Amino acid sequence: MIDTDMEEVFMETEVSLDAAYVPSEDIVAREIEGELIIVPLVAGIGNMEDELFTLNETGRAIWDKLDGERSLEEVVKELSIEFEAPEGEIEKDVMGLAQELLKKRIIVEVPEA
Amino acid sequence: MGPALIDLLRAVLDKEALFRFRAKGFSMVPFIKDDDVVTVSPLWGGSPGVGDVVAFVSPYSERLVVHRVVGKKGDHYLIKGDSAREPDGLVPRINILGRVRAVERNGKEILLGLGPERVLIARLTRNGLILNLLLPIWRLIRPIARRWAT
């Protein structure tokens, strides 16, 4: 039987198409040589050795749209038009990346107004 | 370290967080060696002191350098690598981004070089005695010291 508190934690780390996400305040992100380098600040340390996260061109396109105003569903629709690719394919990429970023606390969900 | 990484370092320190990265070069031997991992902390509103190892942007090369403060003149700091032949010159306070608070080598923390002995090291560094005296002596006795240790 799953403990209720643990169940809540698991639920919080699942992304939702209806939700909007924004970069966490506990990260620093800079473009270096064409890639976006994200350094999470874990326990007050920006660790270039172990904790670095790099986004390629596709990841960057998704990242740039995580502005807290668009839901993931809207991000999928926009990218599908921009990349001229089926929404199903884009949705897999968007959800996969968002899930990973959320799990590492690089992005946070924006509460509904 | 190029301008983009310097910007990254500044951004991390501006958030009052520490910055941990791998050092490259030989100018701080024996206290910091090539590939050692250093952790830099913000100055937290204070100023570096003589003996502190600091991360700064060289006003001449505009690259990030990690060397030791060996003197101070007003709001400028005389900085030099422990085994460098020449000092980096007088560096304005505003170019100093943070202070090294830990050095790791092969997963272990190196304790020598950042503690109270750092003031003595700064004096030796300033006079070139690390490079011209202590390092040659150490290279001579290191094989003997290793044999004793085993």
What residues have CB less than 8 Å from A50, skipping those under 6 apart?
none
The closest of B39, B81, B142 to A46, measured between CA atoms, is: B39
Q: Rg of the Cα trace of chain A?
A: 15
Residue A80 phi, psi dihedral angles, 5° rounding: -60, -40
CB-based contact A39 B16, cutoff 8 Å: no
Q: Does A46 touch chain B (CB under 8 A)?
A: yes
Residue A5 lies in a domain: no
Tell me the pLDDT tens digit for each residue of B100-111: 999 999 999 998
Return the residue of A nearest to B41 by Cα.
A45
pLDDT for res B1:
60
The interface pTM score, or ipTM, of the predicted complex is 0.79
Tell me the pLDDT tens digit for each residue of A10-24: 445 789 999 999 999
Residues A42-66 have a mean pLDDT of: 90
What residues have CB less than 8 Å from A46, skipping those under 6 apart?
A28, A39, A40, B8, B12, B15, B17, B18, B19, B20
pLDDT for res B149:
66
CB-based contact A49 B4, cutoff 8 Å: no
Bridge partner list, B65: B56
The closest of B35, B101, B98, B89 to B60, measured between CA atoms, is: B89
Task: Give the HSE-up count for residue A93: Cα atoms under 13 Å, Cβ half-sphere.
Answer: 21
- Distance from chain centroid for Cα B6: 16
Long-range CB contacts (< 8 A, 24+ apart) of B20-23?
B20/A45, B20/A46, B20/A47, B20/A48, B20/A49, B21/A48, B21/A49, B22/A48, B22/A49, B23/B66
- Residue B21 in this model has a pLDDT that exceeds 70: yes
Token pair, residue B95, equals 């170019």
**A85 is in which domain, residue-wise?**
16-106
CATH number, domain at A20?
1.10.10
pLDDT for res A6:
45
3-state secondary structure of B41: strand
- Residue A2 in this model has a pLDDT that exceeds 50: no
Residues B41-47 have a mean pLDDT of: 91
CB-based contact A28 B8, cutoff 8 Å: yes
Residue A10 lies in a domain: no
The CATH class of the B3-149 domain is mainly beta
Token pair, residue B122, equals 């700064």
**Low-confidence winner among A72-76, B62-66, B119-123, B146-150 (lowest mean pLDDT):** B146-150
Ranges of each domain in chain B: 3-149
pLDDT for res A35:
86
- Residue B131 in this model has a pLDDT that exceeds 70: yes
Interface list for chain B against chain A, based on CB atoms closer than 8 Å: 4-5, 7-8, 11-12, 15-22, 37, 39
Return the residue of A nearest to B10 by Cα.
A28
Residues B11-32 have a mean pLDDT of: 93
Amino acid at B30: P
Q: In this complex, how many residue pairs, one in chain A and one in chain B, have their CB atoms less than 8 Å apart?
A: 44
pTM for the complete prediction? 0.82
- Residue A9 in this model has a pLDDT that exceeds 70: no
Q: Provide the number of structural domains found in chain A.
A: 1
CB-based contact A46 B7, cutoff 8 Å: no
Residue A29 lies in a domain: yes
Q: What is the mean pLDDT of chain A?
A: 87
Q: Does A44 touch chain B (CB under 8 A)?
A: yes
